[in-house]
Each structure stands twice: as C-alpha cells, then as structure tokens.
C-alpha cells in the first residue's frame, strides 16, 4: 500500500500546532546558535578580541580583525560553530523532541526536564551519531566541491566572473540535493533510537535499510520542508559578494534568518520522520 506523504505532513503540522512544546528543543538549539553568532560578531572587539584576536590574525588574516572584514568572516565561522552545536547539543535536543512526540502520542504526560534527563542516559549514542552525520556531510561536500570545480573549469575556461557565479550557485544546489539524499537514509536514526530504543549503530543500520526500502516516500517527505533552506543556502554562498555590493551587515541578517528558519524546518522534519516510523510500526 502506497504511503501517504500528504497525510503525514498534515498530521505532523497538526501535531506541532496542537503541541508547540515540541518546538522547545529546537528553540534551545537556536538560542545557542544565536549566542555563537553574537560571539563571532563581537570577536574582534574587546574584551573578546583578547582571546580571539591572535587566532583570527594567525589563521585568517589581519583584515578580518576590522570592519567590514569581520562581517565577511561571520558566515564561515558560524558554519563551524553550527557543527559543534549540532554534535554536542543538536542531536540530543532532537531526541528530546522525539520523546515529546512519543509521549504525546501515547497519552503520557510531557515534562521537558524529565525527558531531557531521560535522554541524557543515551547522550553518548547521540554524540556518536552527530559525529558520524557530520563526517558524512563533510565527505559529501568535498565530493560536491571536487566535482563542481572540474565542471566549472570545463565550462568556463575564459570567464572567471561567470565561473565564480556558476560555482557559488551550483555548489548551493548540489549541497542541497546531496544533503537531502543523505538524510533520506539517516533521518530515521534518531526516532529509531528513541522510539525503538536501539543502540546507535543498529539504529543507523535500520534507518539506512528503511531508507532504501522506502526511498521515494522518505525522500519526498523531507524534500519539500528542506526546500525552505534553499534560498538561505543560496544567499549564504553569495553572502560575501552581496555584502560587498550592498552593506556588510547583510551577512549577519542572512545568518539570523537561517537560525529562525531552522527552528521550524528541523522540528517539522523530525516530527515527520517520527510519524513515518510510528506509521510503519503500526502497518508492516
């Protein structure tokens, strides 16, 4: 029997609307991301520059210690901050969100602090999953970069300006598509760890297996929600160029927009994945 993606989306949307507490873990993540962006933004000003100044000068350059160079440095620095937040906090908070979904569906009381303490018992598993997911994303990004650079060189041998624009846009589109493809196979891992209480490697194996068996359904389920990220990814890839042509603070606005969007998109995707797993547990 064909899986109803539309029914899943409607059910997930209704669940979030009726139980906004499920957004709380992602708001918590957004708080740390906003804090990180603020620290990066002020990293070239005292007293923070006492610690960060020598690092920025040595590894990035003197120009990035002063306005507007400090703002040009923001998107790349924020990317690395996001990676750390995802590994140490993000996966754990996503698991808390799945626990909220699980308890609500079972008619059990929801106390976020109690669910967080319960999730702490499996923190190491979530940490390991976060490292594996980031490694996979980095490897895919490197493949995208290598492939696209070769294609760009072949297509635009005599036009550096056209090559640059094509590369930035092409890299965003390729990263978006490969990221969705990767998540089609690993997005169910966290719900499986929480709802079926499987250890991390068994959960990953089960997620990959279900991803292969239900590829079209899972891919379609997350593709449309992830589309909300695409405009921000395109803006991020060209943020330096756009900031140079408009105003430097644009990079900060783009980063802020990505943080806000991620609260709703990430929550919706994890609820959709949890709902998908719940449906599959009921219907073999």
Where along the chain do its domains lie? 5-282
162 vs 274, residue with greater confidence: 274
Q: How confident is the model at residue 284 (pLDDT cuts 50, 70, 90)?
A: very low
Is the pLDDT confidence value at 135 over 60? yes
72 vs 217, residue with greater confidence: 217
Q: How confident is the model at residue 66 (pLDDT cuts 50, 70, 90)?
A: low
Tokens 């389920």 identify what position?
A: 221
What is the pLDDT, as a whole number, of residue 52?
Answer: 67
What is the pLDDT, as a whole number, of residue 64?
Answer: 61
What is the pLDDT, as a whole number, of residue 154?
Answer: 75
Query: Cα(206)–Cα(188) distance, rounded to whole angstroms?
Result: 8
What is the pLDDT, as a whole number, of residue 155?
Answer: 73
What is the pLDDT, as a whole number, of residue 91?
Answer: 97
Is the pLDDT confidence value at 47 over 90? no
What is the pLDDT, as a whole number, of residue 158?
Answer: 66
CA angle 163/165/166 to nearest 5° reads 65
Q: How far is CA 19 from CA 45, 90, 101, in A?
A: 41, 20, 9
Could you give the 3-state DSSP secondary structure of residue 263? helix
Other Cβ atoms within 10 Å of 267 Cβ, number:
23
Nearest to 259 by CA among 38, 104, 8, 50: 38
Q: Among the listed ranges 103-117, 160-174, 209-223, which one has the minimum average pLDDT value?
A: 160-174
The verdict on whether omega for the bond into residue 150 sits within 30 degrees of 0, i.e. cis, is no
Query: Cα(281)–Cα(284) distance, rounded to whole angstroms?
Result: 6
């Amino acid at each position: 029997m064909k899986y109803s993606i539309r029914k899943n989306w409607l059910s997930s949307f209704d669940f979030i609307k009726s139980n906004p507490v499920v957004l709380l873990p992602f708001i918590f993540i957004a708080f740390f991301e906003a804090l990180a962006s603020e620290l990066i933004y002020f990293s070239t000003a005292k007293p923070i520059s006492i610690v960060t100044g020598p690092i920025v000068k040595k590894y990035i350059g003197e120009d990035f210690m002063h306005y507007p160079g400090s703002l040009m440095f923001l998107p790349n620095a924020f990317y690395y901050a996001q990676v750390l937040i995802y590994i140490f906090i993000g996966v754990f908070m996503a698991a808390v969100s799945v626990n909220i979904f699980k308890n609500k569906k079972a008619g059990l009381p929801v106390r976020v602090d109690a669910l967080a303490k319960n999730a702490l018992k499996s923190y190491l598993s979530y940490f390991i999953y976060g490292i594996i997911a980031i490694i996979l994303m980095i490897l895919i990004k490197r493949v995208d970069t290598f492939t696209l650079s070769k294609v760009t060189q072949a297509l635009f041998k005599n036009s550096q300006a056209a090559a640059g624009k094509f590369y930035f846009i092409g890299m965003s589109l390729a990263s978006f598509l490969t990221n969705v493809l990767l998540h089609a196979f690993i997005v169910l891992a966290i719900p499986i760890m929480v709802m079926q209480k499987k250890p991390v490697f068994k959960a990953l194996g089960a997620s990959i297996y279900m991803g292969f068996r239900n590829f079209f359904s899972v891919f379609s389920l997350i593709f449309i929600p992830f589309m909300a990220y695409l405009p921000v990814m395109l803006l991020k890839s060209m943020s330096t160029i756009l900031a140079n042509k408009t105003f430097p603070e644009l990079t900060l606005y783009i980063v802020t927009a990505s943080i806000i969007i991620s609260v709703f998109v990430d929550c919706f995707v994890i609820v959709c994945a949890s709902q998908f797993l719940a449906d599959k547990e009921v219907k073999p």
